[in-house]
Amino acid sequence: MVRAAIVGASGYAGGGLLRILAQHPQIEIGVAVSETYAGKPVSAAFPGMAKLSNVVFEGKGDGSRLRDCEAVFLAQENGKAMHLVPKLLANGSKIVDLSADFRFSDVSVYERVYKITHVAKEENRRAVYGLPELFRDDIQNASLVGNPGCYPTASVLALLPVVSSVDHNSIIIDAKSGVSGAGRAKFSLDYHYAEINESVSAYKIAGTHRHTPEIEQSLSQILGLDIAVTFTPHLIPITRGMMATCYAKLTEPIDTETLREHYREFYVDEPFVVVCDELPATKHTVGSNRCHIGLEVDERTGVITIVSCIDNLIKGAAGQAVQNMNLMLGLPEVAGLDTLGGQFP
């Protein structure tokens, strides 16, 4: 068994990691760090894990206990991982960082977007962006992976098979996320039940959302060109789930069925991407590490509409992190992630 540590284990992403790793056949939880719940069992933060794990939260994530772990998941807020990573790499650990600290190949983009000075620039040069469907070979050989954001995961997977066949200046992404995407520690007025219930709100529009450059980085790397997109996120009154509806102008006429078949062939070997005959819904992916994609072509306008759904806490965070770690450790990519998705009445 591979011994793993989770730093920031009492947040939503950390809780997802705890649940997945508690039932992972080849990775065991050795250390779970939470300053808030230090000294308490994991069931104090997540009562649903009672009797599933005997792990007790520790208050510090920078000591010798982490050095005993081959796999380390960092699930803290932005700006924290960069201080731990140099020591962990020196110890020979495999690291998946769920914050944004190691998602950008150009550190100056990170510093501009997150308003944080990066203190691990050398280590950042070793980091691999953790979207397996795009960078699987690099991830397998990596010691440090920056786990993608939830919006970029849903959006890039939607556009990846078709981005070379559309007008790059026409890409529009209209995305919607459940409240859990904000994290467990958000207590501002916008996230109070009375404010969000029965309401939908757009936020950080016109290129100001910090996931916009992350989406653009991936699409630009695919084509070798600088790509700019119009990205508008929305907060919707559900707990978890994400839908990215992407629009783009095709450069040549093509019908829906031909393009859908192209998507099926493109993702035929991908265990966590489902190309649907019908349009997907967020409930189809709840609890799973899968991304469901549906599409239609408007032959009047030559515009393709792609609908991509994920669970923002699983494929958008913890599940993808475990998927990446499986690849880094040479384990089966699907290990611990074969949970069925969907909510049922």
Using DSSP, state whether 321 is helix, strand or coil: helix
- DSSP state letter for 9: T
HSE-CB of 24 using CA atoms within 13 angstroms: 29
Q: What is the pLDDT of residue 67?
A: 82
Q: Which helix (H) or strand (E) holds 6?
A: strand 2-7
HSE-CB of 307 using CA atoms within 13 angstroms: 14
Q: What is the pLDDT of residue 238?
A: 82
Residues 18 and 116 in one domain: yes
Stated pTM of the model: 0.93
Neighbours of 265 (CB within 10 A): 11
Give the integer Cα–Cα distance in Å for 320 and 98: 9
Q: How far is CA 12 from CA 46, 135, 145, 180, 203, in A?
A: 10, 26, 19, 7, 21
Residues 195 and 294 in one domain: yes
Residues 168 and 288 in one domain: yes
Q: Which helix (H) or strand (E) holds 122?
A: helix 121-124
Residues 217 and 267 in one domain: yes
**Span 59-92, pLDDT tens digits:** 876 666 788 899 999 999 999 999 999 999 999 9
**Span 147-179, pLDDT tens digits:** 999 999 999 999 999 999 999 999 999 999 988
Among residues 69, 150, 246, 291, the one annotated as catalytic is 150
Structural domain of 161: 151-312
| Residue at 142 is within a domain | no
**Span 102-113, pLDDT tens digits:** 999 999 999 999
Residues 174 and 259 in one domain: yes
Report the DSSP beta bridge partners of residue 342. none
Give the integer Cα–Cα distance in Å for 55 and 69: 14
Q: For the chain, how many structural domains are there in total?
A: 2
The answer to whether residues 156 and 215 touch, using CB atoms and an 8 Å cutoff, is yes
Strand order in the sheet with 27-33: 27-33, 2-7, 71-74, 94-97, 144-146, 128-129
Q: What is the pLDDT of residue 343?
A: 66
Neighbours of 23 (CB within 10 A): 12
| Residue at 137 is within a domain | no
For 51: left if phi > 0, alpha if psi spans -120 to 50, otherwise beta; the answer is left
| Residue at 234 is within a domain | yes
Q: Is 291 a catalytic residue?
A: no
| Residue at 246 is within a domain | yes
| Residue at 344 is within a domain | no
Residues 248 and 199 in one domain: yes
- Helices then strands, counting H and E runs in the chain, come out as 12, 13
Give the integer Cα–Cα distance in Å for 342 and 281: 9
Residues 10 and 81 in one domain: yes
**Span 72-81, pLDDT tens digits:** 999 999 999 9
Residue positions counted in the chain: 345
Q: What is the pLDDT of residue 188?
A: 66
Which CATH number is 117's domain given? Answer: 3.40.50.720
Give the integer Cα–Cα distance in Å for 323 and 284: 20
Q: Which residues 6+ apart lie within 8 Å of 265 measured at CB? A: none
301 alpha-carbon distance from chain centroid: 32
Chosen domain end from 126, 159, 179:
126
Residues 116 and 194 in one domain: no
Residues 273 and 159 in one domain: yes
Q: What is the pLDDT of residue 340?
A: 72
Residues 216 and 101 in one domain: no
| Residue at 317 is within a domain | no
The answer to whether residues 171 and 247 touch, using CB atoms and an 8 Å cutoff, is yes
> In the chain, which stretches have pLDDT less than 70?
61-64, 181-192, 342-345
Residues 155 and 290 in one domain: yes
Give the integer Cα–Cα distance in Å for 127 and 117: 17
Directed axis angle between helix 319-329 and helix 132-140, to 10°?
Answer: 30
Give the integer Cα–Cα distance in Å for 294 and 305: 8
**Span 183-194, pLDDT tens digits:** 655 556 666 677
Q: Which of 279, 276, 271 is nearest to 334 (CA)?
A: 271
| Residue at 336 is within a domain | no
The answer to whether residues 294 and 276 touch, using CB atoms and an 8 Å cutoff, is yes
Q: Which of 188, 287, 199, 288 is nearest to 235 (CA)?
A: 199
Residues 257 and 300 in one domain: yes
* Amino acid code (one letter) for 275: V
The answer to whether residues 282 and 309 touch, using CB atoms and an 8 Å cutoff, is yes
